[in-house]
Chain A
Amino acid sequence: MSAWSALICKSSFGRLTTGAAASALLCAIWLLCETAPLSPALAQSSTQSGPKGAAKPTPACVDCHAGAAHAYATAPMRHAMEVPGDDPALESHPNLTVQQGAYKYTVLTKDGKTSYSVTDGTDTLTLPVRWMFGQQSQTWVLEKDGFFYEGLVSYFAREQALATTPGDGHITPHNITEAMGRKLSPWEVLQCFNCHATNASTGTHVNFDKLRPGLDCERCHIGAVQHQIDAANDNFTTLPKALKKMDSQDTANFCGQCHRTWDTAVRNKWKGIPDVRFQPYRLENSKCFIGNDRRISCLACHDPHQHVNHDQAFYDAKCLACHAPAKSPAAVATAAIKSCPVAKANCASCHMPKTQLPGTHSMFTDHEIRIVRPGEEYPN
């Protein structure tokens, strides 16, 4: 191993990065769904100057891609971040409190504004909530004296209550500021906002005045703005890359930009159940993963413009596309791939078990597709 690789993989820098990335990802675990209006960015035609200026008003994404745009308006990634006044969870739970050790937390929502308070009975610290990461279950990034903090308590949709933010359970606050939240490194702040917002950063700085909460079309479809402008002039030569044509390796790498790639997890030596959040990494751990076959791509099962389908049976056809019953055309094409001797339905319920992520009040589907044996430990 080169010295440089050693630096990356073995150093304390690496550990620092690991911690930062892992904690940043904790912000990304609640991508839950609520009905929401079509976002302005999707719905409105744009007259803003694009990269080369627009001669006439540009069409909005929805004008040409109505199906995807309408569906995406309520999709979890679209609402990966919310701002005050646009948060149904808090609007319907305007007064949340929890006692955590010596500290009492209160999250108040009124007139479209939310505040986050912590008190030890003597001192009280109250900060405005400006950024809400997640839509139903959510955590808050708070700002104090020019520094950013991850709130030490978060809202959990399943319990409809506040509890310790995932990953922060080990923290013992020594003062009111530490009780308020975990101070974030600049790198964590960048990671949080880059994966939960659009146009979030320039260089080392977060564009708080320019970022747009959630992931707009152009967050994934790079070049979409130019395409809008050019399309207004009947120029269709500058199309964004067709993501659905990517093979499974490219798709895993693409989605892994935020959901974490296999390489990232390995380089950072991430281990244990918390990895279950890193779906591309878990998927690539599967024996059946192969880079040149779209049947095992993220997109084979998930349409990012849609809500996640929680019906196990929905995924059976995806599995059977390879693990088909004998003598079917698919089976002939993939003769070496075994079919399941136990069942032909609800494949994921056995082969992709739900896993409770400690401290998150949430179950995650383990994307490491495998034969799960009774009593078997979570495979690293």
Chain B
Amino acid sequence: MPVAPNSNLIPRRAANSKIPLKSLRTLRAAVLAPLLALTCLHAAAQDAAPQFDDVAARAAAARDAGNLPLAIQLYTQAEQLKPDWPEGLFYLGMLQYSNNDFPESIAAFNHLLQLQPGAPPALALRGLSEFETGAFDDSLRDLDQAVQKGAANQPRNEQIIRYHYAQLLARAGRFQDAILQYWFFATHHIDDSDLRLGLGVAGMRNQTLPKDIPVADRPIYEAAGSAGYVFLSGDSQAADALFTQLFAQNPTTPNLHYFYGVLLFPHAPNLAVDQFQAEVAVAPNSIAAHSILAYSLMIDGRYPQAAAEAQIAINAAPDMEMAKIALGRSLAETGDTTRAADLLTQILKDDPKNLEAHLGMAVVYSRTGNREEAYRERMVCLDLQK
């Protein structure tokens, strides 16, 4: 597949996570309107000293001139004159981030977020700053919220946000969510060796940050990431060849088949089943592999096999939700509706909006002749679908 020219790469500075100033212009624009409105209100209410206006103007001029140290100094001074000046806090935090002053940047955004809780650009920038200080859990929390609020929808910012977000998701064990972030890059033909490494790490279910992967281990992750990238780019035939080659070269490496199965699943669950079966053969003690195999078999309608696999997973990990859903649904389809209802009810107790559990309950009622309850459950499913 063709790849985009290097101008589309994630900025090299992303490797040490300095966000380019120009990348933040749209971020800045997004936050400016509400901030300026707020500023006007403050201006009307306060007796703004002429000194503040002068310092703020000089800070803006220094910022526009790219003089980071002076701009930071002046914005800091302006904030001392008017401590709750949101626009100043945003620029101060942004400039400090750009200047690698990450703890100071976090402090500025902490202050800003006290004034404007949940502001997506501030959350995103604080999250990126926290990433640099190693506060990865805080960073993930902020980026989760920021992305949910649309901070990654700005074309110029989404690359750097998604790149860091993807790494954090994998670190937290949310591998599928991480792959979705990398999928964005592949579909936009944004290619980079760091991206491929990150995708390989997420695909192979490693919670280590890509930068911490030992050099000796990198080739397998890079190769897996490359195959995954090609798949996500849309060239499934080329990807299949790459994965087949990988399997031949690494017949005992866990999580390679798993990765390919995850990629195949949304398109062809039956083909994903083949990969998950291969994964179980490579890693027979992997609960995750048994669990996802069970789930895929269930989705593919192979209920007796799904039930057997799910039972293996549940025996080892009784609270494994994916396996419980697979077992509950499969038992509903194969006749043990009592146990099925028990399992699915357990799921719904913790997660009342679990679609698969409601689908399963609809089947339980349908197969036991409870027409009204079956219909009610189907309507619940349709409501959840909205």
Contact = CB atoms under 8 A, between A and B. Distances in A.
A125 interface: no
The dominant DSSP class at the B interface is helix
B363 interface: yes
A326 interface: no
Interface stretch (A153-161, A182-190, A300-308): A182-190
B98 interface: no
Nearest to A9: B355
B305 interface: no
Interface residue SS majority, chain A: helix
Interface centre among A6, A14, A291 (most CB of B within 10 A): A291
Given A185-B236, A380-B382, A12 B183 contact: yes
Contact of B382 (A13, A17, A266): A266
Contacts of A249: 363, 366-367
A208 interface: no
Interface stretch (A111-119, A167-175, A226-234, A280-288): A280-288
Interface in B2-34: none
A195 to B, nearest CB: 13
B274 A11 contact: no
B264 to A, nearest CB: 8
A317 B381 CA distance: 32
A187 B268 contact: yes
Interface residues of B, number: 41
A249 B295 CA distance: 20
Given A9-B355, A267-B355, A2 B266 contact: no
Interface in B139-188: 174, 176-177, 180, 183, 187
B343 interface: no
Given A4-B292, A266-B382, A269-B385, A291 B268 contact: no
Interface string A181-224: 00001110010000000000001100000000000000000000
B367 A263 contact: no
Interface stretch (B129-137, B199-207, B208-216, B371-379): B371-379
B99 interface: no
A84 B73 CA distance: 79
Contacts of B385: 266, 269, 271
A17 B363 CA distance: 24
A1 B355 contact: yes
Contacts of A321: none
B223 interface: no
Contacts of A1: 351, 353-355
Interface in A1-55: 1-9, 11-14, 16-17, 20
12 contacts: A3-B177, A6-B176, A7-B177, A13-B180, A16-B266, A16-B267, A187-B236, A249-B367, A266-B355, A287-B371, A288-B371, A292-B367
Those 9 A-B pairs whose CB atoms lie nearest each other, nearest first: A291-B366, A13-B266, A187-B267, A7-B176, A291-B367, A290-B371, A186-B236, A17-B266, A292-B369
